[in-house]
C-alpha cells in the first residue's frame, strides 16, 4: 500500500505541474520527498531479502534486482524512443538517438549507457535541463536505487553500530549540503542546478541505510512494533503522504526556520518507524501485493505520458490516475508476470526457508 501511495503522490505532483485541475489531494507529499521515502522502504526490504533469500548469494541478488527493474523500464523507454522517432519530436533525447545532438565527448556515451543500464541517470539532473536527455525522466531515481543495490550486499555485513554511524554521518552531510553549496555554482565549466544535494547519490544513501536500520531494529526488538498499532501507522501514512501540505501548514509555526531538507528528513523518519508494523500486518495480503505491484510501472509511465500526450493532464487527476493504472496493469500482465517466473526460480534456487517465502515474494517486488 505504501509504495502505491508514494507513486500516486509523485503522479499527483507532476500532473498538477502539467496543468491538471486542482483536486482534493493537491497538497499531497512533494514528489522528491516521496522518492526519498521510497529509498527507506527499499532499504528495509533489501535488508530483509539479503538476510533471508539471498544470504551469502550476492550474484543471485543482483540478477533478481536486474530482472525486477530492467524489463519494464526497457519496454517503456523503448516505446518512448520509438514514439519520439516516428513522430519526429524535437526533444534532446530524440536528437541524441538520431545522432543530431551531442552531450559532449564524455556526456554522450554516458547518456546512452545511462538510458540503457539506468546507472548514472541522476548525474544528468545536476545540469540544467539534463533530464531532457533521459528517455524516462523518473529513471534518475532508479539509477540511484540501482547504485544502492550494488552496495547493499556489502552494507548488510556492517555491524549495527557501524551502520548507524554511517547513517548519522551521511545524514549530517545531507543536512549541511544546502548551506555549504551555493545555489549557483560551476564545476569544470558546467553550471549546476539549484538544490544539487538531492541528486548526489551519497547524500541520499542515508535514507536507504535508515531502512536497513529499521529492519535490524525490528529483528532485534520484535516486541517494539506493538507500540505502533496498524491504525496509527495508517494514520501517519495518510497524513504525511496524502495531506502533507495541510499537515505542514498546521505544524510549521512549531518548526521555526527549517529548510526543506530538514523537514523532509523529519517526515522520512516519521514514515520509517511505520515500516515494521506495515510489513508484518500486510505481508500476506493479496490486495496490498496487487497495489504494490502497480507502483513501479505507474511511476515509470506517468511522466512520459504527461510530457508527450497533449492535454493528458487536463483530463483531471482521477482520469489521469485511472488511465495510468490501467496501462500499468497491462504492463504487469504483458511483462512483469512472465518475468516473475524467472525471478521466482532465482529466489527458490537455494532461497529462503519455506515459511519465509510467501512474505519475501510479496514484499521484494
Residues 160-196 pLDDT 10s: 999 999 999 998 887 776 554 444 444 444 444 445 5
Highest mean pLDDT among 16-25, 232-241, 296-305: 296-305
Q: Which residues contact 305 (CB under 8 A, 6 or more apart)?
A: 312, 323, 324, 327
Percent above pLDDT 90 for the chain: 36
More confident residue, 248 or 66: 66
CA-based nearest residue to 23, from 299, 327, 313: 313
Residue 195 is predicted with a pLDDT of: 56
Q: Is 190 in a helix, a strand, or coil?
A: strand
Check: CB of residue 209 under 8 Å from CB of residue 43.
yes
Q: How far apart are CA 54 and CA 153, in angstroms?
A: 9
Which helix H or strand E contains 37, and what residues bound it? helix 31-51
Beta strands in the chain (DSSP E): 186-187, 190-191
From the centroid of its chain, how far is CA 87?
A: 30
**Residue 355 in this model has a pLDDT that exceeds 70:** no
pLDDT attached to residue 352: 44
Q: Which pLDDT value is given to residue 354?
A: 43
* Mean pLDDT across the chain: 82
* Per-residue model confidence (pLDDT) at position 25: 64
Q: Indicate the pLDDT class of residue 256, thresholds 50, 70 and 90.
A: low
Query: What is the model's pTM?
Result: 0.86
Which pLDDT score is estimated for 243?
Answer: 65
Confidence at 76, pLDDT banded by 50, 70, 90: very high
Q: Which of the four pLDDT bands, split at 50, 70 and 90, describes residue 248?
A: low
State residue 362's pLDDT score: 46
User: How big is the chain by its Cα radius of gyration, in Å?
Assistant: 20
Chain centroid to CA 20 = 23
Q: What is the pLDDT of residues 92-151, one digit of tens each?
A: 888 888 877 666 677 788 888 999 999 989 888 877 777 888 999 999 999 999 999 999
Amino acid at each position: 500500500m505504501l509504495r502505491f501511495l508514494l507513486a500516486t503522490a509523485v503522479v499527483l505532483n507532476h500532473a498538477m505541474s502539467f496543468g491538471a485541475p486542482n483536486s482534493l489531494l493537491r497538497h499531497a507529499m512533494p514528489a522528491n520527498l516521496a522518492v526519498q521515502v521510497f529509498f527507506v522502504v527499499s532499504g528495509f526490504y533489501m535488508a530483509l531479502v539479503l538476510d533471508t533469500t539471498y544470504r551469502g548469494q550476492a550474484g543471485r541478488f543482483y540478477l533478481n534486482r536486474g530482472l525486477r527493474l530492467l524489463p519494464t523500464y526497457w519496454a517503456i523507454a523503448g516505446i518512448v524512443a520509438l514514439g519520439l522517432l516516428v513522430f519526429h519530436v524535437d526533444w534532446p533525447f530524440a536528437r541524441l538517438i538520431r545522432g543530431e545532438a551531442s552531450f559532449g565527448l564524455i556526456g554522450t556515451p554516458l547518456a546512452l549507457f545511462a538510458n540503457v543500464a539506468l546507472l548514472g541517470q541522476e548525474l544528468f539532473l545536476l545540469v540544467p535541463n539534463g533530464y531532457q536527455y533521459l528517455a524516462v525522466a523518473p529513471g534518475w531515481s532508479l539509477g540511484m536505487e540501482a547504485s544502492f543495490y550494488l552496495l547493499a550486499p556489502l552494507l548488510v555485513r556492517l555491524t549495527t553500530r557501524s551502520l548507524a554511524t554511517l547513517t548519522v554521518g551521511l545524514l549530517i552531510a545531507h543536512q549541511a549540503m544546502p548551506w555549504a553549496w551555493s545555489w549557483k555554482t560551476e564545476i569544470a565549466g558546467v553550471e549546476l542546478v539549484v538544490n544539487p544535494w538531492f541528486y548526489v547519490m551519497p547524500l541520499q544513501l542515508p535514507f536507504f541505510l535508515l531502512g536497513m536500520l529499521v529492519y535490524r531494529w525490528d529483528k532485534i526488538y520484535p516486541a517494539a512494533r506493538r507500540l505502533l498499532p496498524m491504525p496509527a501507522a495508517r494514520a501517519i501514512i495518510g497524513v504525511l503522504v496524502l495531506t502533507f501540505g495541510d499537515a505542514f501548514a498546521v505544524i510549521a509555526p512549531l518548526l521555526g526556520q527549517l529548510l526543506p531538507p530538514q523537514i523532509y528528513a523529519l517526515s522520512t523518519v516519521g514514515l520509517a518507524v511505520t515500516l515494521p508494523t506495515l510489513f508484518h500486518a500486510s505481508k500476506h495480503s493479496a490486495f496490498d501485493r496487487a497495489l504494490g505491484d502497480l507502483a513501479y510501472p505507474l511511476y515509470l509511465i506517468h511522466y512520459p505520458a504527461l510530457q508527450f500526450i497533449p492535454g493528458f493532464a487536463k483530463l483531471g487527476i482521477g482520469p489521469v490516475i485511472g488511465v495510468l493504472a490501467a496501462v500499468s496493469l497491462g504492463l504487469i500482465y504483458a511483462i512483469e508476470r512472465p518475468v516473475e517466473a524467472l525471478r521466482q526460480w532465482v529466489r527458490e534456487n537455494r532461497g529462503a526457508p519455506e515459511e519465509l517465502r510467501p512474505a519475501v515474494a510479496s514484499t521484494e517486488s
